[in-house]
């Protein structure tokens, strides 16, 4: 079974095993993938093993990997420090998960509080998507308001309230200064659209007008401070948004799932000098394992505390305990025995695998490597080198390519227009970019077509030079008459 890749004029047979595996998968998995983002036409390439900066597919081909688990693998594949930490948890501590509180939860929470000035307390989840979902629920409970505002082109996970205007058809998206919510999935309701206000990124005056109009209804503004991981907010925009949300009593949520640890160890917020009320983390935090975290101000975060609260699992010991008017327990007594009528309500947040010790061991090992002297500096230097070399190659052939990004993430955007938001990006030459990406797959450079590039600390100078050479060859092939 062969495949004709876009940009190629002959039917290639390089990915026959992937083609067969995809056909097998489609028989038992809808669309052959467990996450829609992993699909690309005519079928995704199936990988068999990985090491360091390299991926190896089922057809025996090797790739320099710039997808890196959509940015999660900042130390590359199978870093020995991460493997060692995981094996210690499994073998020395005797189990993958305790199902109880454990020391490593506190260790990781302390590390995050140390690194992120905006965080006073932390709760763990099992994915970045769960983290943004929890942050929104916390904001809604804290403010008593239902609506949220998100930005056009920003992605926060695959749940209903944020599945609007991520990659909208501009004919349906309304005016640039006042975008219309465009659903991105089946199964969304008109009520969810009404409760999700769409904002224009990097346009402070337009945002201010919308936020002031909806201020009494909005619990939170959530945004990727670097859209898609590679379109940075302007500093003046960030400062103005922080001032505006504080004035209007709207919780400001930074979704740093993509950018956490990839720009600085304190996130993008450290670069801008902005302290959001809540921050969602994921990806790098798990060292290659599924993880998420929400951190923020103590007075907001403690709405989740079950201590002395009326909670789903805070059972009343006996009918007598529930009698109204009983005196609250003395300090030091079990708050769970406080009469139900006296207990405050709590925002319920739970999950068997929250604070998973094996995952957090991998995450802490990752952070410690990143904290070692010179590591982040070398990562940024290599990223800058690759970006500059790629721009030089494309400009030599008359292609107006920009490497748009911040820190160790960037994307290739073919346009002369400055890229400040989704609508600027939508005007770029994605057809040419896609042709180049498919050729790069044939040349051993891997990222999903049209996706961003994520760098790792294990990409070598040799990797970078080979990548530049592959890009030049891809340009030659695509431009060949």
Give the catalytic positions in this structure: 155, 255, 283
Token pair belonging to 359: 């995952």
Q: How many CA atoms lie within 13 A of 142 on its CB side?
A: 26
- Report the C-alpha gap between 341 and 141 in whole angstroms: 20
Tally the C-alpha atoms within 13 A of residue 246's C-alpha that lie toward its C-beta.
10
Buried-exposed string 352-391: b where 16+ CB fall within 10 A, e elsewhere:
ebbbbbbbbbbbbbbbebbeeeebbeebbebbeebbebbb
195 token code pair: 């409760």
Q: Which residue, 45, 47, 52, 96, is CA-closest to 73?
A: 52
Return the DSSP state at 91.
I
How far is it, in rounded angstroms, from Cα 128 to Cα 151? Answer: 18
Cα→Cα distances 472→394, 444, 464, Å: 8, 13, 13
Q: Which residue from 301, 378, 315 is spatially nearest to 343, judged by alpha carbons?
A: 315
Tokens standing for residue 82: 């991460």
Q: How far apart are CA 262 and CA 272, in angstroms?
A: 14
Q: Give the Cα separation of 92 and 75 in Å (integer).
A: 24
Cα–Cα dist 273/73, whole Å: 26
Distance CA 13, CA 26 (A): 20
For residues 186 and 247, is the Cβ–Cβ distance under 8 A?
no
Cα gap 143→121, rounded to integer Å: 18
* Residue 143 DSSP symbol: H
Per-residue DSSP letters for 415-456? -SS---SHHHHHTS-HHHHHHHHHHHHHTTEE--TTPPEE--
Distance between CA atoms of 459 and 465, rounded to whole angstroms? 10
């Amino acid at each position: 079974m062969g495949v004709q890749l876009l940009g190629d004029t002959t039917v290639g047979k390089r990915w026959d095993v992937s083609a067969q595996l995809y056909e097998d998968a489609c028989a038992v998995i809808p669309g052959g993938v467990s996450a829609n983002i992993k699909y690309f036409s005519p079928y995704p390439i199936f990988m068999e093993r990985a090491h360091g900066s390299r991926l190896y597919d089922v057809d025996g081909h090797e790739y320099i990997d710039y997808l890196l688990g959509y940015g999660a693998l900042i130390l590359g594949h199978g870093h020995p420090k991460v493997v060692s930490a995981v094996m210690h948890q499994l073998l020395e501590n005797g189990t993958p998960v305790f199902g109880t509180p454990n020391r490593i939860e506190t260790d990781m929470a302390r590390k995050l509080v140390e690194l992120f000035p905006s965080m006073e307390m932390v709760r763990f989840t099992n994915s970045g998507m769960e983290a943004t979902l929890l942050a929104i629920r916390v904001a809604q409970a804290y403010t008593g308001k239902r609506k949220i505002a998100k930005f056009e082109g920003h992605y926060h996970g695959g749940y209903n309230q944020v599945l609007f205007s991520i990659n909208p058809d501009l004919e349906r998206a309304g005016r640039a200064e006042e975008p219309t919510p465009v659903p991105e999935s089946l199964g969304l309701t008109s009520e969810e659209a009404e409760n999700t206000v769409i904002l224009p990124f990097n346009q402070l005056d337009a945002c201010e007008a919308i936020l002031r109009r909806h201020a009494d209804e909005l619990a939170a503004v959530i945004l990727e401070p670097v859209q898609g991981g590679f379109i940075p907010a302007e500093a003046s925009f960030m400062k103005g948004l922080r001032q505006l949300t504080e004035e209007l009593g709207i919780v400001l949520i930074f979704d740093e799932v993509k950018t956490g640890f990839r720009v600085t160890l304190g996130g993008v917020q450290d670069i801008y000098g902005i302290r959001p009320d809540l921050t969602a983390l994921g990806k790098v935090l798990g060292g290659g394992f599924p993880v998420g975290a929400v951190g923020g101000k103590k007075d907001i975060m403690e709405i989740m505390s079950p201590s002395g609260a009326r909670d789903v699992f805070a059972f009343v010991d006996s009918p007598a305990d529930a009698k109204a008017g009983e005196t609250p327990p003395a300090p030091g007594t079990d708050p769970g025995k406080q009469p139900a009528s006296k207990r405050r309500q709590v925002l319920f947040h739970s999950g068997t695998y929250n604070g998973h010790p094996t995952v957090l061991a991998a995450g802490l090992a990752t952070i410690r490597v990143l904290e070692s002297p010179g590591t982040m500096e070398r990562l940024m230097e290599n990223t800058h080198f690759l970006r500059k070399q790629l721009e030089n190659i494309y400009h030599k052939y008359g292609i107006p390519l920009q490497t748009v990004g911040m820190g160790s993430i960037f994307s290739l955007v073919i346009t002369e227009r400055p890229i400040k938001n989704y609508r600027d990006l939508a005007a770029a030459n994605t057809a040419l970019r896609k042709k180049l990406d498919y050729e790069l797959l044939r040349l051993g450079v891997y990222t999903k077509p049209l996706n961003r590039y994520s760098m790792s600390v294990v990409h070598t100078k040799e990797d970078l030079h080979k990548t530049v050479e592959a890009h030049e060859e891809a340009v030659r092939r695509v431009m060949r008459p």
